[in-house]
Amino acid sequence: MIRKTACSAAALLVLAGTTPAFATNGMNLEGYGAKSLAMGGTGMAYDTGNSAVMNNPATLGFMEEGSSEIGIGIRGLHPDVSLSYGPYTEKSGATAFYMPSLSYMRRDGRISWGAAVLSQGGMGTDFGSDSQIFAGGLSMMGSMVPMSGESIRTEVGVGRVMFPIAYHLTENTTIGGSLDVVWVGMDLQMDMDGDHFGRMMTGVGGSVGGSMAATLGSMLSPSGPITDINYARFDFSNASQWTGEAKGYGAGFKLGFTHRFSKEFSIGAVYHSQTSISDLETSKAVLAFEAQMGSTPFYQSVTGTIKVHDFEWPATFAAGVAFRPSDRLIVACDVKHINWSSVMQRLFMTFTADNTVSNGPFAGQTLDVKMTQDWKDQTVWALGLQYMATDRLALRAGASFSGNPVPDLYLNPLFPAITKDHYTCGLGYRLSKVSSIAAAFSWAPEVKTVNGDGMVITHGQSNWALNYVYQL
């Protein structure tokens, strides 16, 4: 499946930050902007151009005084995700995501300021409606049963509109910050077999609660009409290429600094706050059950509203150095700590059924589902090089190395954010005195792991970025 993006510059400003992405450091992109990406995702202590707004806003202080720039970018992400279980092997059809960006930056005296919009990251897979791996499962009582046979897919996209400002405290020291408007879109089409659903009802791998769970429990009692549950299906999705069906909005901020000890050596650091985002919500959700009444299947589709609670982007701290051994060479090294453990402990959803006759015994009731995730914090080490081959041509290369933040036990095949290392290269070319382009390529080697159900999950990526900058 290819997610296509084509829009005018005006639409770009409004929509760029919502495009779904498949990110590479957990849910983060490995680098923001073609220059930073080509140099291994570094960017704390040298000029990364307008992409400073996502790297370290204080580096906007490296702009020339009195200058202003418009930046337009496009990012392509190409994940390769496959699953193996028993005799079956399948690939995700979500193989291409395209993410535009737009920015304006200006420096006036000691102050640099601007605005930008872009996609920050996310996740996504698509196994269609003909998947053999997701075609069957175990009922609550352990019988082999068919699942819904409907589409199995996920998509999460996170976008930001950012308003950065940087201030020169001294000739060599700059502080900077950014106030960010954040929004999230999520699609989820997932079957959960009765075995997993039943285990969660007993607190294994998560929990299931609410009045709907109580009704199901009474119907499963020895005197109740239901003898088994085959599966439960969660379905909220739309056809938009820009955002998911369930949406939430919020804010975050960044604070950073840079200090230049000499022409050859500089340092920088930044703190990205944890976001504060509302529940992701849609009133166009469907929760379906298939149960057994003795030997007779019983199917109930329930319409309602779903809320995904506590979905936040984590706090991040990053620091780095940049060394210029000659006028033509820059060597940069960054370390980044991403606090996934504070925001990815569980996926918590509440479904509230519409109070309509068609919803049967579940009308007006709620179901709380908490799926354990238990992500670990992630430390990313990055190294980047830039060499000016000519006065116009810059050659760049880099790499980054990190651990996998997702525990094997709780790894959901629909959210396989397990890539670790990246190898990057790229170039920048000055077209004229007022315009330049930059391109970057990133390769994430395949990572293979086995989750708690014995499913083999493999994920690798090849990604690219292209930027154009015009000086006004």
| 50-93 tens-digit pLDDT | 999 999 999 999 999 999 999 999 999 999 999 999 899 999 99
Listed residue (234, 197, 193, 190) closest to 213, CA to CA: 197
- Token output for 168: 């020169």
* Average pLDDT of the residues in 245-252: 96
Position 16 pLDDT exceeds 90: no
Contacts of the segment 326-330: beta carbons below 8 A, 24+ positions apart: 327/388, 328/387, 328/388, 329/385, 329/386, 329/387, 329/388, 330/39, 330/46, 330/384, 330/385, 330/386
Residue 91 has a pLDDT of 94
Position 9 pLDDT exceeds 60: no
| CATH architecture, domain defined by 9-471 | Beta Barrel (2.40)
Sequence-distant (≥ 6) Cβ neighbours of residue 181 within 8 angstroms:
160, 161, 162, 249, 250, 251
Residue 22 has a pLDDT of 56
Residue 40 has a pLDDT of 97
Instruction: Say if strands 265-272 and 296-309 run parallel, antiparallel, or are unpaired.
Output: unpaired
CB distance 159 to 313 below 8 Å: no
Residue 7 has a pLDDT of 33
Instruction: Say if strands 88-91 and 68-85 run parallel, antiparallel, or are unpaired.
Output: antiparallel
Residue 443: its H or E element: strand 435-450
**pLDDT tens digits along 299-336:** 999 999 999 999 999 999 999 999 999 999 999 999 99
Listed residue (464, 451, 466, 444) closest to 25, CA to CA: 444
- % of the chain at pLDDT higher than 70: 95
Position 197 pLDDT exceeds 80: yes
Position 469 pLDDT exceeds 80: yes
How far apart CA 350 and CA 466 sit, in angstroms, is 40
DSSP string, 183-197: EEEEEEEEEEEHHHH
**pLDDT tens digits along 384-439:** 999 999 999 999 999 999 999 999 999 999 889 899 999 999 999 999 999 999 99
Mean pLDDT of the residues in the chain: 91
* Average pLDDT of the residues in 332-342: 97
Place of tokens 């005006």: 10
* Average pLDDT of the residues in 273-281: 97
**pLDDT tens digits along 81-132:** 999 998 999 999 989 888 899 999 999 999 999 999 988 877 789 999 999 9
Phi and psi based region of residue 40 (left: phi greater than 0; alpha: psi -120 to 50; beta: remaining): left
Residue 11 has a pLDDT of 31
Place of tokens 């790499």: 399
- Token output for 287: 């929760």
Q: Cα dist. 251→62, 110, 318, 319, 433 in Å?
A: 26, 27, 20, 23, 37
Q: Where exactly are the structural domains of the chain? A: 9-471
Position 20 pLDDT exceeds 80: no
Position 13 pLDDT exceeds 60: no
